[in-house]
Amino acid sequence: MIVAVVGPTATGKSDLALDLAEALSGPRAPAEIVNADAFQLYRGMDVGTAKVPPTERRGIVHHQLDVLDPTQDASVAHYQAAARADLDAIAARGARAVVVGGSGLYVRALLDEMNFPGTDPQVRARLEGRAETEGRRALHAELVRRDPDAAASIGPENTRRLVRALEVIEITGQPFTANLPRQEYVRPAVQIGLDCDRPTLDARVAGRVDRMWSAGLVDEVRSLASPAQGGTGAGLGTTAARAVGYAELLRWFAGDLTEDAAREAVVTDTRRLARKQMGWFGRDPRVQWLDAGSPTLLADALAVVRAADAETLPAPEDRPVRRSLGS
């Protein structure tokens, strides 16, 4: 049974994951943690992503941290393959995997049935050409004929998604909706969500940003940014440059914001991110929510895990009968 700790940023997911990993470790098979935060994949992006420092990981093995250079663009499909391989290896060792992260798409890609059809540059170019010559509504009308459910969720103004849907249909021979993620675990799992009321979460976010500033966030971003961005490093790729805490400081370095405005923007954008994450995970009925501020949080989480473990055992009538030696 995989244990996943999910929810909004600044709710204490990393701390709970460490506590759970310690509590769920066996004498021969310590539990291991698998990261599901898209930006903690990047080397050097430590302060701004609230990555647990190696000295504070309590000797627990962590996977999917520091596996990309900041100049690289992250790929959900690549993450899925690599992180699932980690889960396989952890299971082969007889250990428990504790997944932790607030990147909803990455959590779903790791735990759920989710396929990533390839791309065909020629097919895509042809469809994009049709969008230019025939118009987007012609592509939408075709999607209505070939996959009405997909057409109902993709508006006629969204050229990029229209092209992608028709591309997938042509490549796979299946409806686009057949490749969409399903709320169906690929292996037994339980998701524990951390939540708290909005004023408390807003205060936590502000406190986190204060700590990040004190811990050297400005120097970290400057060391990663390219000279053209006001820094000394090789620069941040498209994905990394969008990370909250980095995008705002890059705007400051470029002269678009003052330092005070950049700092306030980090707070505002982090709060916005937290609400987006809450919306994402809140739509999944399988998440079992706990109060992030509860004094019995670890005990509450362990109770959820024990209940989930029990559900995976065969029913009493299906279990093999154990007979004593004298029977």
Binding-site residues for substrate: 9-14
Nearest to 301 by CA among 15, 10, 38: 15
The rounded distance, in Å, linking the Cα atoms of 249 and 323 is 68
Q: Which residue has the tokens 């759920």?
A: 112
Query: What is the three-class DSSP state of 160?
Result: helix
Q: Cα dihedral sign for 72, 243, 156, 284?
A: positive
Q: Which residue has the tokens 């291991």?
A: 32
Annotated binding site for ATP, which residues?
7-14
Nearest to 298 by CA among 3, 25, 23, 27: 23
| Contact predicate 261/166, CB 8 Å | no
Amino acid at 215: A
Query: What is the three-class DSSP state of 193?
Result: strand
What end-to-end distance do the CA atoms of the chain give, in Å? 34
Annotated binding site, which residues?
7-14
The dihedrals phi and psi of 71, each to the nearest 5 degrees, come to -80, -15
Q: 262-266: long-range contacts at Cβ-Cβ below 8 A with a sequence spacing of 24 or more?
A: 263/209, 263/213, 266/209, 266/212
Nearest to 97 by CA among 229, 2, 184: 2
